[in-house]
Structure 1
Amino acid sequence: MTDARHELVAAGRALSAAGLSPGASGNLSVRVGDLIYMTPTGARLEDLDPDRLAVLDARAPLREGHTAGPPPSKEFPLHRAFYRRDPGTRAVVHLHSAHAAACSCLPAWSRRSALAPLTPYFVMRVGQTPLIPYAAPGDLGQAHRMEALGFPFRAALLQNHGPITAGDTLARAVDAAVELEEVARLTLLLKDTAPRLLTTEEATDLAHRYGSPWEGAVD
């Protein structure tokens, strides 16, 4: 328990130092057994305290379950939606990183992935990343819609908002958030060009080898 809390604090500081979480934006959570430890509402990721994290009951309904500590980020239903979709999820990272947030304001590449397979590491570390229709931050309906999507994914872009990633460890969720920001940066650099994308065969091979969710442009 203590290690997970300190890991969350360290991840928050690293993401802030990398410029991926400006101001009081962004929120992180880790699941330990039946508890979820989450950054408090309004917290700056560089200022987190392992003894001042919100604590939620992982078994509670989407909108409920705050059991101890300060109030959680208003985005906690999105985090819980990821935990409910996949029992193997142990961490969720939501950022307002600039390039991924910018891409969330653009049309999606396909229904199952807002971003195209520009690089092998995007397919390997992130996988298909659906664009979730816009809703105000903290909207419960958006969390329900994300939970109900009928195909696998461990990252999404929240329309006109930013990225959210999940992983079976906090390190993998953070790595996915960093890689998502990088492929978003490349997407913007290449906008209005015709870049070479990974072929269906190339992307599918990587997905099979690395266990990442990828069905590409299937609609």
Structure 2
Amino acid sequence: MSEMSDLRECICMFARTMHGRGLTHGSTGNISARTPDGGLLVTPTGSSFLTLDPARLSHFDAELNLIDGDKPTKEMPLHRAFYDTRGTTGAIVHLHSAHSVALSMMPDVDEDDFLPHLTPYPIMKLGRVKLLPYMLPGDAAIGEAIRGLAGKRSAVMLANHGPVVAGKDLEAAVYAIEELEASAQLAMMTRGQNPRLLSDDEVARLVETFDVEWDA
């Protein structure tokens, strides 16, 4: 099996596992990944993570011209923005996961550091997550907002919508967005109970030890 065929199968496999665990639902969410020749494979518009067909993924060349497959997700502006501004990006995952969306609606969330510092792994895998204001799904303004971050964040949370994570490859992006949702779930579970957060010194040690991108 070729690298391209392997990548098509992996996109569909990861999508099914995320759908099966309730991380997205219906026809929500989208994935893109760099192909070996510098192009992109993207999940089609209106498709379900549960029933993706590897042969029907939207296939773009290196200039982002659609070569074959179905029409891509309407969220292409946010995908392009990450690829254009973060040179290390090999894949992007966008979900409508419930706990992270719920947390994004809370009035006291820190826009520059969306996830409270409850456990080490979100810090290690995501750095600071930027909360972006609500915009119409598919709006080019989402891409412009991501471009405005100048590649300094690997993850953003679209308020009242869902998280977006860029990773070095598909596996890394999937694992990171799962960590984001799990951390948001913990935040909602412990909300109002005054949980003990990691201290600033503990966060700083994580950032230094694991070489975390930690944009101020």
**2:55 match: secondary structure:** coil
Aligned to 1:214: 214
Does the 8 Å CA contact 2:103/2:109 hold for their aligned counterparts? no
Structure 2 residue 193 is the aligned partner of structure 1 residue 163: no
Give the aligned length. 212
Gap runs ≥5 in structure 1? none
Amino acid at match of 1:198: L
Correspondence for 2:56 among 43, 52, 74:
52
- Deviating beyond 3 angstroms after TM superposition, the runs of 4 or more aligned structure 1 residues are 57-60
Once residues 93 and 200 of structure 1 are traced to their aligned partners in structure 2, the CA distance between those partners, rounded to angstroms, is 29
Relative distance call for 1:184 and 1:35 in structure 2 (3 A) is same
Aligned to 1:123: 123
Does the 8 Å CA contact 2:86/2:151 hold for their aligned counterparts? no
How far apart are 1:193 and its partner, in Å? 2.7
Output the TM-score relative to the length of structure 2. 0.91
- Percent same amino acid among aligned pairs? 39
Amino acid at match of 2:50: E
Output the TM-score relative to the length of structure 1. 0.90
Relative distance call for 1:198 and 1:151 in structure 2 (3 A) is farther
Aligned to 1:69: 69
Aligned to 2:13: 10
Aligned to 2:29: 26
Gap runs ≥5 in structure 2? none
Amino acid at match of 2:196: R
Aligned to 2:46: 42
User: What RMSD over aligned residues (CA atoms) do the two structures have, in Å?
Assistant: 1.6
Does the 8 Å CA contact 1:133/1:142 hold for their aligned counterparts? no
How far apart are 1:3 and its partner, in Å? 1.4
Amino acid at match of 1:131: L
Once residues 6 and 43 of structure 1 are traced to their aligned partners in structure 2, the CA distance between those partners, rounded to angstroms, is 15
Aligned to 1:88: 88
Amino acid at match of 1:12: A
Does the 8 Å CA contact 2:134/2:160 hold for their aligned counterparts? yes
Once residues 75 and 207 of structure 2 are traced to their aligned partners in structure 1, the CA distance between those partners, rounded to angstroms, is 29
Once residues 200 and 109 of structure 1 are traced to their aligned partners in structure 2, the CA distance between those partners, rounded to angstroms, is 18
Amino acid at match of 1:53: L
Does the 8 Å CA contact 1:203/1:214 hold for their aligned counterparts? no
How far apart are 1:68 and its partner, in Å? 2.3
Does the 8 Å CA contact 1:204/1:214 hold for their aligned counterparts? no
Does the 8 Å CA contact 1:58/1:80 hold for their aligned counterparts? no
**1:163 match: secondary structure:** strand
Between stretches 18-27 and 201-210, larger displacement belongs to 201-210
Once residues 114 and 148 of structure 2 are traced to their aligned partners in structure 1, the CA distance between those partners, rounded to angstroms, is 17
Once residues 75 and 151 of structure 1 are traced to their aligned partners in structure 2, the CA distance between those partners, rounded to angstroms, is 18
**2:26 match: secondary structure:** coil
How far apart are 1:121 and its partner, in Å? 0.9
Relative distance call for 1:103 and 1:66 in structure 2 (3 A) is farther
Once residues 151 and 12 of structure 2 are traced to their aligned partners in structure 1, the CA distance between those partners, rounded to angstroms, is 32
How far apart are 1:150 and its partner, in Å? 4.5
**1:44 match: secondary structure:** coil
How far apart are 1:4 and its partner, in Å? 1.2
